[in-house]
Structure 1
Amino acid sequence: MQPQDAVMPGGIGPYRPLRLLGEGGMGQVHLAVSPGGRLVAVKVVRPELAEDAAFRARFDREVRACSAVSGAFTAAVVDADPAAPVPWLATAYVPGPSLQEAVAAHGPMDERTVRTLGAGLAEALLAVHRAGLVHRDMKPGNVLIAGDGPRVIDFGISRALDGTVLTRTGTVLGSPGYMAPEQVAAPQDAGPPCDVFALGATLVYALTGRGPFGTGSAASVLYRIVNSEPNLDGVPPGLGPLLADCLRKDPAARPTPEQLLGMFGAGSAWPPPALWDDLRRRATEAAALAAAPPPPVRHQTTQPKAAPKPTGGHGPNRRRVLGLTAAAVGGVAGLAGVGALVEQGIGGSGARHGAAPRGSARPTGVAVRKEPVRGDVPI
């Protein structure tokens, strides 16, 4: 991890950017530090999108969704300003890889480790659903491996159970390979069971290094999800039937997160031993960046564009979501007290995070998540 010139000049709200973690078609995620020395990950949308009232409404909704969810294995929002000239969202930072990165670097995980992983993800989904939300984009790139357990991140396309949807009629938001059949065919019917389907597909990836519906164009993968049975070759017999139940075509036939908590059984110590060096290195390097003196301030020569006037009430311009203090967020900190989560989510994960290859064909009427073009995290 090295400082980069690509960080934003000045600050993002009260936060001083340290390093660009990743960027994509809709925004950037920066590692930043608070005035009190707390490491955070700050998501910043692109200025041109900030001028789009519909996008602002979606971003404001994302802030509300993230702030409504709390739990040991979910994201905690630290701060946000959806009404800023360039809207941003800050969460605590965890120096850990995504599940996609971990499997790519160290190979598939063993059954006991995946049982622990599965129980953590089920508990995370329970917290999401109790908040009245559906995640709708569970996948290996949206699961982080922290020192004290997995973290489910990216509520960028979550929807409220009351049926409020900000997408256009006839479109589907999600990531090919991890979307439930009903999410593909009728997005308005994508309720909590679609998250259980995605959990099953994510655990198949953790065990085998591949998704249960193969690779190829988005259209071909989505076709297999709707019409073919999952490929569970390589899944241990002890988990095969359980994951097959999670991947059933009929949403009503899938287990609930509450039921899953009692089905994964005894797991293993966490984190996987192969990841300890990686976790320590990330924690050490992030702490060193935070402790380094700030660079000279570069003054802006042009004035930023004013935020468009809101069409409805969104509260004050600056929102301390949930009123979380640094100490409160520290309760879910990872190694050496350095952070708890990289919240990410304005788009989807790229090839290294298990998304369809760049340039894959996309089926008509399906809005596939945008891939990042650089960095460590999806945007």
Structure 2
Amino acid sequence: MDAQPSPDLTTPHGRTIGPYAPVRRLGEGGMGIVYLARDPDGREVALKVMRPELASLEEFRARFRKEAEAAKRVARFCTAPLLDAGLDGDRHYLVTEYVDGPDLSAVVDARGPLTGSNLDALAVGVATALAAVHEAGVVHRDLKPSNILLSPLGPRVIDFGVAQLADTLAERTGTVIGTPAYMSPEQARGETVSSAADVFAWGCVVAYAATGRPPFGGGAAPEVLYRVAHHVPNLAGLDERLRPLVERALDKDPARRPTAQRLLERLLGREEVAVEAATRIVSDIWATSEAPARTTRRSARRPDRSADRRAGAADPSGTRRWAPVAAAGGALAVIAAVLLVVLHPFGGGETEPKGPLGARDAKISGSSLHATVDAVRRRGTSVSVQLTVTVTGKGSRWWPRDLFGDQLSGAALVDPPGGAKFAPAQKDGGCLCSTVPAQWLGEGDVLPLYATYTGVPEGLEQIGVDVPGFGLFSDVPIATE
């Protein structure tokens, strides 16, 4: 059980911690207590005071200064930067920029998943923050929706100066530090963690923001960690603009995941994009209109005690003040359109198909499988195809790469009149198609797949979809955006 805070920290008014004057307490978590405070110039900051029992650990004291100095080197791009770290008597504290906005989990809980330009901006903003964090030699280790604040200027990642300090507590207590639904497979296995773990968490966060649920589900920590390490993520409902990058980010092998910088380049469709430029794009497409103060459903259900996950905003009445995010208009719509073209190479309308366009069963390597063609969409001469393969046989175990290889490059479109075949389009040495997971699937597991094709004649209203192992799905209608 966490130790109770000392009385003078519970009611901090009238005293300072270092040069900072606490104004009110924002929350409390496993690492310490967070206050809204003012610096000597009167500016608002978030002041995190570490728990005395942590400060008494020699390992913590030795790591505190090293990690705090590293965190202060992080550039101020899509982050709540660490401004200061110090010692007041026996109290260690960290000071970060105060971000006025709710966390992502509160917004999704209250209003549902993000869509359109808001989702695009979130994906770019968090990737930008990770690129800045990693460039400074820091690994966040605990990226999750509650550590992403939605400010009027865009998403801001917080607590990258705290997550590594939590290792001291983990080493002393033997507990796992992190949120299971957003931990990487190597974290779940207790292996060495690198910046690739943050990229995996990015994939989980974007999937959550787009669908309203973490891709590996919820429940008891051991069950979630097992799914993280061994199961295919559930990405049903994820916008097809982001699916390919999310799938690559969620690869079980950290060596196969893109870096945060590479994520940023793929999202913006340009090489060597600077994080400063990416931050400007995010800010430009992120609306700043503000809604009346209100309490979210999350706060109505239970008090939020997790100070470590937020230096978030509350007004003096205790209700959360937050700005809804929406796509900007006018010139900003041009920037949003650029993001849309880069992030949405597969087409995609606003309405999902009401049912599969074709279905086939097959027995492959002793496993019973069911495949459906879920959507075929056109934008100009580009056509995207969405497929789903479900393991249906009782007790079946299936290794998808035996059939597809490491990518869905063998799936082809067939022009019925002339018999011409179209292979998935190529980009950056690989196909614009799903990366096939390197793991076993069992009964009931679902494998969503996609592939994108270019140069398909615009006059075609139907197409054949040739799927390895399942054969030709004939006369599949093509939906035009």
SS at match of 1:87: strand
Instruction: Considering fraction of residues, name the structure with more strand.
Output: 2
C-alpha contact (below 8 Å) 1:58/1:166 kept by paired residues: no
Query: Pairwise mapping of residues 67-82 of structure 1 onto structure 2 (< 5 A)?
Result: 67-82=72-87
In structure 2, the CA distance between the partners of 1:47 and 1:193, relative to structure 1 (3 Å rule), is closer
Query: Pairwise mapping of residues 8-87 of structure 1 onto structure 2 (< 5 A)?
Result: 8-9=12-13, 10-82=15-87, 84-87=89-92
Alignment-mate amino acid for residue 271 of structure 1: W
Of 199-208 and 107-116, more deviation after overlay is shown by 107-116
CA distance in 2, matches of 1:27, 1:171: 17
CA distance in 2, matches of 1:260, 1:82: 38
Report the Cα offset of residue 186 of structure 1: 3.7
Instruction: Considering fraction of residues, name the structure with more helix.
Output: 1
In structure 2, the CA distance between the partners of 1:374 and 1:276, relative to structure 1 (3 Å rule), is same
Alignment-mate amino acid for residue 154 of structure 2: G
What's the counterpart of residue 100 of structure 1? 105
C-alpha contact (below 8 Å) 2:32/2:308 kept by paired residues: no
CA distance in 2, matches of 1:248, 1:52: 37
In structure 2, the CA distance between the partners of 1:51 and 1:262, relative to structure 1 (3 Å rule), is closer
In structure 2, the CA distance between the partners of 1:272 and 1:110, relative to structure 1 (3 Å rule), is farther
SS at match of 2:84: strand
- The Cα offsets for residues 93-148 of structure 1, whole Å up to 9 and x where unpaired, read as 11111111121122110032111111111111111111112111111011111121
Name the TM-score, length of structure 2 as normaliser: 0.53
Name the TM-score, length of structure 1 as normaliser: 0.67
Alignment-mate amino acid for residue 158 of structure 1: Q
| Match status 1:157 vs 2:171 | no
| Match status 1:271 vs 2:286 | yes
Residue from 179, 189, 194 that aligns with 1:191 = 194
CA distance in 2, matches of 1:171, 1:19: 31
The higher relative CO (CA closer than 8 Å, separation ≥ 6) is in 1
**Corresponding pairs, count:** 283
- The Cα offsets for residues 288-341 of structure 1, whole Å up to 9 and x where unpaired, read as xxxxxxxxxxxxxxxxxxxxxxxxxxxxxxxxxxxxxxxxxxxxxxxxxxxxxx
C-alpha contact (below 8 Å) 1:372/1:378 kept by paired residues: no
Residue from 246, 253, 264 that aligns with 1:261 = 264
- The Cα offsets for residues 63-98 of structure 1, whole Å up to 9 and x where unpaired, read as 223212113112322222146421111112111111
In structure 2, the CA distance between the partners of 1:195 and 1:375, relative to structure 1 (3 Å rule), is closer
In structure 2, the CA distance between the partners of 1:237 and 1:93, relative to structure 1 (3 Å rule), is same
CA distance in 2, matches of 1:199, 1:80: 27
Residue from 114, 121, 129 that aligns with 1:116 = 121
CA distance in 2, matches of 1:237, 1:181: 24
SS at match of 1:249: coil
CA distance in 2, matches of 1:25, 1:237: 37
CA distance in 2, matches of 1:378, 1:36: 23
C-alpha contact (below 8 Å) 1:6/1:19 kept by paired residues: no
In structure 2, the CA distance between the partners of 1:201 and 1:194, relative to structure 1 (3 Å rule), is same
In structure 2, the CA distance between the partners of 1:83 and 1:16, relative to structure 1 (3 Å rule), is closer
What's the counterpart of residue 217 of structure 1? 220
Report the Cα offset of residue 225 of structure 1: 0.2
What's the counterpart of residue 180 of structure 1? 184
Cα RMSD over matched residues? 3.1
Identity of aligned residues (%): 45
